[in-house]
Amino acid sequence: MGSAAVDSALLVSVENVSFSYGRGLVLEDVTLPIFRGDFLAVLGPNGSGKTTLIKTILGVLKPSRGSVKIMGQPVSAFKAWERIGYVPQKATHFDPLFPASVREVVAMGLLASRRPFHRTTRDEAEEIARILALVGLDKEARSPVGRLSGGQQQRVFIARALLLAPHLLVLDEPTTGVDAGMEEQFYDLLSALNIGRGITIVLVTHDIGIANRHITKVACLGRKLVYHGTHEEFCRSAALRDMIAGGHHLISHRH
Amino acid sequence: MGAFLEFAFLQRALVAGILIAFSCAVLGVFLVLRRDAMIGHGLSHITFAGLALGLLVRRLPLAVAFVVAVFAAWLLVKLKSRAGLHGDTAVAVLSSGGLALGIVLASAARTYNAGLLSYLFGEILAISRFEVVLAAALAAGIAAVIFGLYHKLVFLTFDRESARAAGLPVERLDMAVTILAAVTIVLGMRVVGILLVSALIVVPAAAALQVASSFRKALCLAGTAGALSVVLGLLSAYVFDLPASGAIVLVGLVLFGGAAAARRRLR
């Protein structure tokens, strides 16, 4: 494979990134390439810098040192944010009284990216209906979002991210508070998006547990990048053993 | 009711009060859902410092209060984003500072008199024709900003982190909402006074959110609840010889109670 082909396959490039909150260094000299089609799990204990890393990728935080490029552009100059879908850690922590239906929440990102006074077109309405069917929420389209279960709410946020046809979907601990049955369905959906639609997925998690069957690559953080490679290599690596010895249970049950 | 509307000062109070209460309530929906409900309380305390400064320098106290409130709104957004203070901490810091400064300045200006009390407790019946025009301009300005930025503001209100990641200018949108709140508070101060102006922002919005099924309906219901509070509050003040500011806020609280009861029934 030539270098041009490698470059076009490179979706996100994190190069020597360090970040500190005041004097506390949270990320140190992290270099992490993310390639198109990856289903990357970013693992690590609390405070290891997982959320900080994805916030630097999303341009929400500016690295103290190093650089981030998305699709070859420095993140500060990147404009096509509709190509990046994001499901935040606290996505389901909104006010339950928020007066919005599932359909309205799914349309939020799309409408906010349009010009003032934009009204949903017929094509957009059809696309919203299609995405809702994809995540299995077509029957709940008119339900108030605050009345759904945690698992259903997470699927609403994924639908919102998918509506803009992203190339990259970033999820920060998306199954927190979701029961095991829902979690399994949720990862099946992510896998279908990754394999069926070619969407690159970056999943931040404490516990690869159920996601283990679907991920293709692993980045293991402990302020520095401790490990980056394929999932198979990771299962045999010293990094995994070190983290388990440190009291962090990364359950691996590959089926 | 017919006799009530015969008085020009009551007509002015009604028109300006409805416009200002409507503006406060519509902004209140965004602030309450962002858990920034206390922002009105904080900005009203700072407005008190502005008024006292105006009284001290004997130059248009309302205009000085307006400048101070807008500056405080700007400072509040900066404190939250740059100094990393939580919203309620930033509001508490500015609010206590504003009130303390106001007390010192009012004392220096020797203005602990009826003039100052009218700002503390409101004087809707003394609203001038010019203030009616200001209220109309404020309501039109707020409608234009909210209509123009509607989708961005709703996204930001619902999920701040995702809005930021989607490339929305979060700090500029925050600044727009907070400055509008500051301007509204300065005018709202004439209706119900510094001590109660935050109620015009919070109570109708909280009532609307009890029963609204969509964001647009919440804005309409909040605006209606705010306007209704002024109409029924002024009417009851006229009929029962009550202080207008207190009556307006109490009517708002009754509407909130009714909405909360209706919500329980709808469940």
Q: Is A105 on the interface with B (CB under 8 A)?
A: yes
Range name among A186-195, B210-219, B245-254 with the lowest pLDDT average: A186-195
CB A87 within 8 A of CB A170: yes
Q: Does A229 touch chain B (CB under 8 A)?
A: no
Under the banding of pLDDT at 50, 70 and 90, the label for residue A245 is very low
B151 part of contact set with chain A, CB < 8 Å: yes
Instruction: Give the tens place of pLDDT for each residue, B163-185.
Output: 988 889 998 999 999 999 998 88
Query: What is the reported pLDDT for A7?
Result: 55
pLDDT at residue B254 greater than cutoff 50? yes
Contact in structure between A228 and A218 (CB atoms under 8 Å): yes
Look at residue B130 in the predicted model and tell me its pLDDT: 86
pLDDT-based confidence at residue A40 (cuts at 50, 70, 90): very high
Please report residues of A whose CB lies closer than 8 A to that of B162: 86-88, 91, 109, 157, 160
Share of chain B above pLDDT 90, in %: 39
pLDDT at A177: 63
Optimal mutation site among A98, A162, A169, interface B, most CBs of chain B within 10 A = A98
Q: What pLDDT is stored for residue A255 in this prediction?
A: 36
The answer to whether residue A216 scores a pLDDT higher than 60 is yes
Q: pLDDT digit string (tens) for B93-146? A: 888 888 899 889 888 877 666 677 778 887 888 888 888 888 888 889 888 998
Report the gap between the CA of B216 and the closest CA in chain A (Å).
9
CATH number of B4-261: 1.10.3470.10
In Å, how far is B201's CA from the nearest CA of chain A? 17
Give the pLDDT band (50/70/90) at residue A210.
low
Separation of alpha carbons A145 and A143, rounded Å: 6
Residue contact B158–A144, C-beta within 8 A? no
Give me the mean pLDDT over the A166-187 stretch.
Answer: 79
Q: Is the dihedral of CA B81, B87, B92, B95 positive or negative?
A: positive
Q: Which phi and psi (to 5°) does residue A43 adopt?
A: -110, 160
Q: What is the pLDDT of residue A252?
A: 45
| Interatomic CA distance for residues B117 and B97, integer angstroms | 20
Query: What residues contact residue A129 under an 8 Å CB cut-off, 6+ apart?
Result: A138, A141
**Domain spans of chain B?**
4-261
Nearest to B214 among A84, A101, A157 (CB): A101
Asked whether the beta carbons of residue A117 and residue B168 sit closer than 8 angstroms, the reply is no
**Nearest-by-Cβ selection for B165 from A58, A105, A114:** A58
Contact A77/A160 with Cβ under 8 angstroms? no
Could you please state the CATH topology (level 3) that the domain comprising A3-245 is classified under. Answer: Rossmann fold (3.40.50)
The encoded tokens of residue B36 equal: 């920034």
B154 close to A (CB below 8 A): yes
- Give the mean pLDDT of chain A: 83
Under the banding of pLDDT at 50, 70 and 90, the label for residue A30 is: very high
Instruction: Summarize pLDDT for A48-91 with one digit per residue, the tens.
Output: 899 999 999 999 889 999 999 999 899 988 988 888 999 887 66
A165 touches chain B (CB under 8 A): no
Q: In angstroms, what is the C-alpha Rg of chain A?
A: 18
Per the structure block, which two tokens stand in for A71?
Answer: 């699709």
Confidence of residue A253 (pLDDT cuts 50, 70, 90): very low
Residue A243: predicted pLDDT: 60
B172 touches chain A (CB under 8 A): no
Tell me the pLDDT band of A129, cut-offs 50, 70 and 90. very high
Cβ–Cβ < 8 Å for A210, A183: yes
| Model pLDDT, residue A234 | 78
Q: Is the pLDDT of residue B79 over 50?
A: yes
pLDDT of residue A19: 94
Burial class from Cβ neighbours inside 10 Å (0-12, 13-18, 19+) for residue A141 reads middle
Q: What is the structure's pLDDT at A244? A: 47
